[in-house]
Amino acid sequence: MIGNSLFRFSVIFISIISIISCASSPTGRSQMILKSDASLEQEGARQFRKLRESLPLVQDPRTIDYVACVTNSIIDVVDGDYADLYWELAVVDQPDVNAYVLPGGKIVVNTGILNMATNQDQLAAVIGHEVAHVTSRHANERASRAAVTGVGVDIAAIILGGGYRNQTQGARDALSTGAVLGLLNPFSRLQETEADVIGIEYMAKAGFDPRESVELWKKMNAKNASKIPEYLSTHPSGETRIDDLIAQYPSALEYFNNAKANGLSPNCNL
């Protein structure tokens, strides 16, 4: 009886998700967008201000200008609504090999990434990836999916728990773990792959050598000693990313050669 109810719930739940997944990413992938972009951008701006107040920002103008030069070159090839977005950059003096983006185009680059991305093309691969997260509305999509998944887990837990509190909580815990491993983690990996695909296009259109994205990931892969199984991770494995990037070479190199032919040849190196 419970199994039949859960099955009917799953069918209905998936049907609702299919109906509301009406947006499309730049790659043409169907997206579930339920949140307000404006509200997410406001929150991103608020978090960015807090971050700038609390983290140690780089003071060296040469380093700031270098990262800003690469970032501006990437942003210059972004079209559509995101070309007019108020992009901002913070270069943070922290050793972590990391860069990330907040909703609304707030890009954060740790100095640790500069020790790994040792030339402007490799840094462009990092920045292109982060810009792609913004233009693909990944933050909105993740927030929307997390909200819907949370509601689905609660309802399914009530069904499986049969109205008993302890059983319902146990079912909720098990379903939450299943949702992370079976829905949210693969979805996060999908977004990371999509950001790689769009990001390599951006860097190539800006005149950066797309082949350097693979060289960067070879170094990142060698540095990452912990071999977490891919299904447990929110990111694809290094090997998967390298294979996916190489698969983009034909189109990316065409963009790169066209950029060079049109005089786009950034000179950002320190």
Active site residues: 130
Q: If DSSP codes are grouped into helix, strand and coil, which group holds residue 59? A: coil
Whole-number Cα distances in Å, 26 to 73, 165, 196: 20, 44, 12
8 Å CB contact between 33 and 144: yes
Q: How many residues does the chain have?
A: 270
Task: Report residue 86 CA to chain centroid gap.
Answer: 19
* CB neighbour burial string for 139-158, b if at least 16 within 10 angstroms, e if fewer: bbbbbbbeebbeebbeebbe
- With tokens 């990452």, the residue in question is 224
Instruction: Report DSSP state, residue 83.
Output: G
**210 with 203: CB under 8 angstroms?**
yes
